[in-house]
Amino acid sequence: MRHLLKCLATFSCISLVTGCAIKQTSNVSIEDYTNIENTPVYILNNPPLQPEDLNADILSCTDTTEHRLKVENGILKTTGGLTAATGIISLVSIAASGGILAPLFIPVYATMTAIGGGLYVSANATETYREYTTMEKCLERQGYEVVFISTEKKEQ
């Protein structure tokens, strides 16, 4: 019974603290944000933004983002592709030669192939997300408040 009361008291305290710590949202509408064309990235217009400065900062961040994304994709795709290719070649070699230890190595190289292929595929799948998050971080470092707003309607 004593343990139950301690747990209840702890839960109550945690609920009270987290309830007070939740950030209150203000009544900000989408009209208070400027959209970066062809992206879900919006920048808060408070204080009012100077279009020339904003465009220069966006171009600077776009250039940085594109360069960084090319490097990241090159590393991820090269690493994933080489790992998958090495695993496939090793699997074929083990299957062709056989031997006593072949059953021990097949799961290792099959796993290596799957991990390499997954890394390669994930580089393609996350490319757009990484582009937008890198741009968001760059703009936030320059003092802008940035959010993602999806305006696409989901089909039901």
**Average pLDDT value for the chain:** 79
Question: For the chain, what are the domain ranges?
Answer: 29-148
pLDDT reported for residue 116: 94
pLDDT reported for residue 47: 72
Smallest Cα–Cα separation from 120: which of 51, 69, 73?
73
In the three-class reduction of DSSP (H, G, I as helix; E, B as strand; rest coil), residue 16 is classed as: helix
The whole-model pTM stands at 0.61
